[in-house]
C-alpha cells in the first residue's frame, strides 16, 4: 500500500467502526475504530519483491488492536464473508500460537468440501506503523 492510500485510510478513521466480532447483541457503532489491520494477499517474486494481488483492510477498535498484539487471544477471520471469532487460548482445545488465522471459507459461507485454506500471522509480522497494523500471510 502506498503512502497516499495510507494517508487516506487515516483520514477516514474517525468515520469507521470496528468490523470484528464483539459477541452477540452488540452494535458495531458502539466500537469506534482506532486502527486498521492491513493484510496483503499475494506472492513473492524474489526475496526483495513482494506482489500484493489484493489487500484486505479491516478497521479495528482499541480493545481489538490490543488483543491482537497480546498473547491471550487468537482471531479467526474469514476473508470470504468477513466473519470473525475470537478464541481465548487458555480455554481452547487446540494450542494456538498465531495472532490471526485467516480462513478462506468458514462454516458461515462454505461447506467442508469447499474449504479453501488457512493463512496465519505471527507477532513478528504484525507491525504497527503510522497508526496501521500490517500483517503478512505466511
Question: Closest by alpha carbon to 106, among 86, 79, 87?
Answer: 79
3-state secondary structure of 34: coil
Q: Average per-residue pLDDT in the chain?
A: 78
- Whether the per-residue pLDDT at 130 is higher than 80: the answer is no
Element of type H or E holding 38:
strand 35-44
Question: Closest by alpha carbon to 80, among 56, 100, 98?
Answer: 56
First-to-final CA distance of the chain? 18
- Whether the per-residue pLDDT at 54 is higher than 60: the answer is yes
Partner residues linked to 76 by β-bridges = 85, 101
Least confidently predicted of 39-48, 117-126, 129-138: 129-138
- Whether the per-residue pLDDT at 48 is higher than 90: the answer is no
For 79-112, how does the pLDDT look when each residue is reduced to its tens digit (9 = 90+)? 888 899 999 999 999 888 888 888 888 877 776 6
Confidence of residue 40 (pLDDT cuts 50, 70, 90): confident
- Whether the per-residue pLDDT at 30 is higher than 90: the answer is yes
Give the pLDDT of residue 62. 92
Q: Which residues contact 18 (CB under 8 A, 6 or more apart)?
A: 28, 31, 32, 33, 59, 60, 61, 64
The DSSP line for 54-107 is EEEEEEE-HHHHHHHHSSSEEEEEETTT--EEEEEGGG-SS----SEEEESS-T
- Whether the per-residue pLDDT at 63 is higher than 90: the answer is yes
Amino acid at each position: 500500500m502506498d503512502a497516499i492510500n495510507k494517508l487516506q485510510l487515516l483520514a477516514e478513521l474517525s468515520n469507521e467502526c470496528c468490523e470484528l466480532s464483539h459477541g452477540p447483541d452488540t452494535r458495531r457503532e458502539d466500537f469506534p475504530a482506532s486502527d486498521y489491520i492491513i493484510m496483503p494477499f499475494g506472492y513473492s517474486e524474489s526475496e526483495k519483491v513482494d506482489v500484493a494481488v489484493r489487500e484486505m483492510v479491516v478497521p479495528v477498535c482499541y480493545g481489538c488492536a490490543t488483543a491482537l498484539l497480546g498473547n491471550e487471544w487468537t482471531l479467526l477471520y474469514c476473508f470470504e464473508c468477513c466473519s470473525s471469532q475470537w478464541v481465548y487460548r487458555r480455554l481452547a482445545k487446540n494450542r494456538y500460537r498465531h495472532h490471526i488465522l485467516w480462513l478462506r471459507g468458514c462454516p458461515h459461507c462454505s461447506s467442508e468440501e469447499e474449504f479453501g485454506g488457512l493463512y496465519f500471522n505471527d507477532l513478528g509480522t504484525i507491525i504497527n506503523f503510522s497508526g496501521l497494523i500490517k500483517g503478512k500471510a505466511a
